[in-house]
Structure 1
Amino acid sequence: MLTDNRRLLGSWKHANDWLEQIWIPQALAAGMTYYAHVKAPGVFGQAAVEDMHLRVGSHLHLQLFEQMEEAVAWLREMQAIERGV
């Protein structure tokens, strides 16, 4: 999965309870194993993603990125590894 928060302003930390308790368990049950997250600019977005990483990072392969290109490259690399390429 790829999340792009580059245009998100402000904090979304209040959503982390829902992500941790509802969304992540459902995504894992559906087979998600890799999650690339392109961080939002600003202090509040950074704090929210750090909190999310602490809450759910141990349940799946979660990587945080500054640039979209890096996130896409990492996901492609993970797909290649999964396929044994």
Structure 2
Amino acid sequence: MPLFLNDNSRVLNPWFDSLTWLRYVWESTNTSPPPCMAHVMQPGASANVGDLDTGWTRNAGTDLQLFESVCEAEEWLRSCC
């Protein structure tokens, strides 16, 4: 099963753009996103999670989970298998 880990823990600019980019890539290539996507946020970014537009992931049948560490994200992705 394909899985996806997007690590933005060291990104200095707003990380929300990476989700917009991912949506563009999958929609423009007519490719379905993987069933499980783990997204690691920047430290302290959790306060902005409510601003995310993640409805497209649910519509695509993808479970997108947000994490504060790569280790937590990897553990969750292993549980998706």
Structure 2 unpaired stretches of 5+:
none
CA-atom RMSD, angstroms? 3.1
Q: Which residue of 1 is the match for residue 11 of structure 2?
A: 8
Structure 1 unpaired stretches of 5+:
80-85
TM-score in terms of structure 2 length: 0.65
Deviation sequence 1:15-74 (CA, Å, 0-9, x none): 554433x3233688356111000001355x96489424x343312110000011110000
Write out aligned runs for 1:2-81 (5 A).
2-14=5-17, 16-20=19-23, 22-25=24-27, 29=31, 32-43=34-45, 47=48, 50-52=51-53, 54-58=54-58, 59=60, 60-79=62-81
Between Structure 1 and Structure 2, the one with more helix by share is 1
What is the percentage of aligned positions where both structures have the same residue?
30
TM-score in terms of structure 1 length: 0.63
Give the aligned length.
Answer: 76
